[in-house]
């Protein structure tokens, strides 16, 4: 198995992670930016009364619009793409990022394994 290693700044972890995954996801630049910020929000927001708040609550949407300089309509469009591709999921507790797309960060290391099944 081959392992490629790259050192990234802690503030750039989610951006770099999505950049690497984008070979599979095929997201636009703004969709990647929105997803990386959503990963950061989900990782840093503490649970309230035992559960995490809805990822797409009003406060988070405002923060996304402020940091990305996109308007409400465009944000909705980008979020729709993420929902259509099952990157953002919804259940009774609200919206959240599909755990398949959330990096496992243990200590100061995040590892992701890609498996390619080759057809004849």
Question: 102 in a domain, yes or no?
Answer: yes
What pLDDT score was predicted for residue 1?
A: 75
What is the C-alpha separation between 93 and 34, in angstroms, rounded? 21
What is the C-alpha separation between 23 and 69, in angstroms, rounded? 25
Domain that holds residue 73: 10-110
Residue 46 has pLDDT above 80, yes or no: no
Question: 1 in a domain, yes or no?
Answer: no
Question: 104 in a domain, yes or no?
Answer: yes
74-97: average pLDDT: 95
Question: What total number of domains does the chain contain?
Answer: 1
Question: 118 in a domain, yes or no?
Answer: no
Per the CB < 8 A criterion, the answer to whether 6 and 110 are in contact is: no
What pLDDT score was predicted for residue 29?
A: 94
Question: 115 in a domain, yes or no?
Answer: no
The CATH number given to whatever domain includes residue 23 is 1.10.10
Q: What does pLDDT average to over the chain?
A: 91
What pLDDT score was predicted for residue 80?
A: 97
């Amino acid at each position: 198995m081959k392992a490629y290693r790259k050192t990234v700044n802690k503030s750039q972890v989610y951006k770099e992670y999505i950049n690497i995954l984008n070979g599979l996801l095929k997201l636009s630049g703004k969709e990647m930016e929105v997803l990386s910020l959503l990963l950061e929000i989900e990782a840093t927001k503490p649970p309230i009364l035992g559960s995490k708040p809805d990822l797409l609550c009003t406060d988070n949407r405002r923060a996304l619009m402020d940091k990305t300089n996109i308007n409400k309509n465009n944000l909705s469009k980008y979020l729709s793409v993420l929902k259509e591709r099952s990157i953002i999921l919804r259940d009774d507790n609200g919206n959240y990022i599909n755990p398949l797309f959330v990096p496992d960060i243990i200590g100061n290391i995040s590892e992701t394994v890609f498996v390619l099944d080759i057809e004849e």
